[in-house]
Amino acid sequence: MTSTLAHSSQLLLPGLDIRTARGKGRGVFALYQISPETLVVVGKFVKLFPDRTSHSFQMGWNRHVKLDKVAEIINHSCDPNLRICNNSLGGYNFHAIRTIEAGEELTWDYAMSESQSIAVEKCLCGVPQCRGKSVGFTDLPLEEQQILHSKGVARYLSEWYIQQLTQTILRQS
Ligand SMILES: [Zn+2]
């Protein structure tokens, strides 16, 4: 029992709280204001999945992984306050894109890692530019890919995006 409690408290980084997010199950919330560019959550590799699941993180065209608890609980938003980048632990780090206020839910955009997305059939993020459901990076219109890429996406998607862009420019020249 003691070890379980100790273990569960280690799951939470200081300043974060796991609460019920309206209509979305659990979510991760900021207890204090977070400055832009702060490393908020480190998502560590736990295990490989044979295929995409609604909780897997895509790290390559055929690589779907489970990350540890806090990363796994962060919900999607079509206008997120976090971006991701590959880390040395086989997962993703989550950085604040902008100032996150105390009490605000932490969110990232599933299209930052997923080439296609099955996770959210009906998106509840509630932002004006909501896509209605989660859409994979490769299925987004070019302008949205560009915006997302400038925020920060998975390395394999960034490489793909730059390759596509280069080919388009070469075709036009
Ligand atoms: Zn949405």
CA of 134 to the centre of ligand 1 (A): 7
Both tokens of residue 123? 């998106």
pLDDT at 54: 85
Per residue of the chain (173 residues), what is the pLDDT tens digit?
A: 333 333 344 445 679 999 988 777 899 999 999 999 999 999 999 999 999 998 899 999 999 999 998 999 999 999 999 999 999 999 999 999 999 999 999 999 999 999 998 777 889 899 999 999 889 999 999 999 999 999 999 999 999 999 998 988 888 88
pLDDT at 12: 58
Per the structure, how many domains does the chain have?
A: 1
CA of 130 to the centre of ligand 1 (A): 4
CA of 129 to the centre of ligand 1 (A): 7
CA of 138 to the centre of ligand 1 (A): 17
Distance between CA atoms of 83 and 93, rounded to whole angstroms?
Answer: 8
Instruction: Name the residue range of residue 32's domain.
Output: 2-172
CA of 54 to the centre of ligand 1 (A): 16
User: How many angstroms separate the Cα of 70 from the Cα of each of 42, 45, 53, 155, 164?
Assistant: 8, 12, 17, 21, 33
Percentage of residues of the chain with pLDDT beyond 90: 73
pLDDT at 50: 94
Helix, strand and coil content of the chain, in percent to the nearest 5, comes to: 30, 25, 45
35-53, pLDDT tens digit by residue?
A: 999 999 999 999 999 999 9
**CATH number reported for the structural domain that contains residue 41 in this entry:** 2.170.270.10
CA of 48 to the centre of ligand 1 (A): 27
